[in-house]
A and B are shown apart, each in its own frame.
Chain A
Amino acid sequence: MAATVPLRAPTAAPPPSTDTLTESYWVRGALITFTLLFLIVFLFLPLAAVFIEAFRKGSDMFFAAFKDPDALSAIRLTFLAAGIAVPLNLVFGLAASWAITKFSFPGKSLLLSLIDVPFAVSPVISGLVYVLLFGAQGWFGPWLREHDIKIIFAVPGIVLATIFVTFPFVARELIPLMQSQGSDEEQAAVSLGANGWQTFWHVTLPNVKWALLYGVILCNARAMGEFGAVSVVSGHIRGETNTLPLHVEILYNEYNFVAAFACASLLALLALVTLALKTLVESKFSGSEAAAP
């Protein structure tokens, strides 16, 4: 998941002079054409297809897809899962980055590697872990059944799986930044009489706010789009445990293409909005970093 490392456009450096890069016209032309073709085939075409298919039978049918109670319930569940996972991971990400960058303690590097686990393992495995823990045959299965608590094939399982696959995003954004900033400013704040909360609120948080927002955007995009892990724990109960991506799959398998693509277009739209937000924040983020001493 190298995608979480923010790619910054090299705006500071002037474009290399064409005199020194004397590639022939043909080479340059071929490279540009290839890149464009690749993007068209693998990105623009599928994206366009989603919207074309969604509107194939007119906008009435398109909007009808969202009036279906199952679709509404899927949208609600998606927002619920993201609404719980994102704030939780925001807090977790801040706490973990704070702990890792401002203190030294044994097992710090282990913690740092553990944060990457959800990136390293397949989402399906992440889902399966929860089934093994909380499923009927799982470790806590009997106990949960006794107390009439349902986690797997229910909303809590979906929320848990979503939290698991998205928890590295915020921490991953904050740790490198906070490491490079060091803790001098915090020490200065404390020596000036600030307490822990004041130091965090007035010094640490403003210094990382753009990176934090960037992490939250990525975290949210993943939380809403997650398929694998959620699919394993969901049980695909219509109107109850289907998230939007799962709902799309069900519709598609039922040959209900218009509705499937209509819901998919919603996810695609979400991705586009995320992308726009991300670009906006990135420019702010790199701007504030460039301004830092």
Chain B
Amino acid sequence: MSIEVQNISRRFGNYTALDQVNLQIEKGEMVSLLGPSGSGKTTLLRIIAGLETSDTGRVLLHGQDATEVAVRKRQVGFVFQHYALFRHMNVLDNVAFGLNVRSRSTRPSKSEIRDRVFSLLKLVQLEGLENRYPTQLSGGQRQRVALARALAIEPKVLLLDEPFGALDAKVRKELRRWLRQLHEELHITSVFVTHDQEEALEVADRVVVMNNARIEQIGTPREIYDHPATPFVNEFLGNVNSLSASVEQGRVHVGGIDLLAPLEMRDQTNAVAYVRPHNIQLARSKNGKPVLEVTVRHIHAAGPTARLELRRTDNGEEFEAEVPRAEEQHLALKVGETAFASLRDARVFPRG
């Protein structure tokens, strides 16, 4: 186990940033902490790094209790959202900093440091820029310098706080693919914080979804996407419709559709069914199946799939369906017409 977080809680005045959080991260894993702002993800990352203290709980790095170990002794590489490069130092000195501040007995020789810096600059594809100052670099380049600087101290774990948060969309996409490749080369245990679900699902081996100072779900991107465990994870990950439903005698009713209610919901009366737009099938007639009657409100047919805005006839709730273009043309629905929807993979939760 590379990183172990045990019962970590942290309050700032009346505000609870972390509430009894437990997390285990395997060696060589790339884990993302995903959540909206204020969910506690950055605080957790900073506590792992030692830049923040926790009120209760322990942090173990490589099996050793690091709770009381000072940041500078933890040997963690930390990458900041706004790079935090030393503005008066050039790229070379920035990357070499962690080696230059070592005590004489553990410091590599000048030429060794230089070699190390140049090989790191090669790794982050910034060869030839060693004499530039941070202001002379683009955002993406700065973040790669920051990464090289963090890697220079040969960290046991790499922690990244919204590493691409300050970059524009195109650079972001490039950089996160590149980060994933880099991880495959180096296999340093890495944790990165993001509020961008696409980023988390694309880059991480495992995703930790956080909300309101707690962990909602931990799983591989596929698990998280296909089997969201809580209403929050459902709503936070990807496009999803929430349809209100009622529970009666062990069945959940969404309009004309009824589903078997999960055991723990048998004594509820109200529920929510989450359905992704591409899991909604539309038909012009009922065909004797249990369906949800809807009115077509709008059709967006530009793009690989057609998006239809629908309104339930029973309670006026609006939602969205995504169907392949060919199917949309075959159905030939028009705005204002009535259609019948059936749901695949609907996930039912008690109404909170």
Contacts and interface: CB of A to CB of B under 8 A. Distances in A.
Interface of A: 184-185, 187-195, 198, 202-203, 206-207, 288, 291-293
Given A184-B80, A291-B135, A192 B97 contact: yes
A191 B72 contact: yes
Contact of A206 (B74, B82, B84, B88): B88
14 contacts: A184-B80, A187-B78, A187-B80, A188-B85, A191-B150, A192-B72, A192-B101, A193-B75, A194-B72, A194-B98, A194-B101, A291-B133, A293-B87, A293-B142
B78 A188 contact: yes
Given A192-B149, A193-B101, A291-B133, A203 B72 contact: no
Given A187-B80, A293-B87, A192 B153 contact: yes
Given A192-B149, A193-B101, A291-B133, A207 B78 contact: no
Contacts of B86: 185, 188-189, 202-203
Interface of B: 49-51, 71-78, 80, 82-88, 97-98, 101-102, 133-135, 142, 146, 149-150, 152-153
Contact of B72 (A193, A207, A291): A193
A190 B72 CA distance: 5
Give the secondary structure class of A's interface: helix
Nearest to A288: B88
A207 B86 CA distance: 9
Q: Give 8 nearest A-B pairs by CB, closest first.
A: A192-B98, A184-B84, A188-B84, A191-B78, A194-B101, A206-B88, A193-B72, A198-B101
Nearest to B71: A190
A188 to B, nearest CB: 4
A188 B149 CA distance: 9
A185 B135 contact: no
A191 to B, nearest CB: 4
A195 B102 CA distance: 9
Contacts of A195: 72, 101
Nearest to A195: B72
Contacts of A185: 84-87
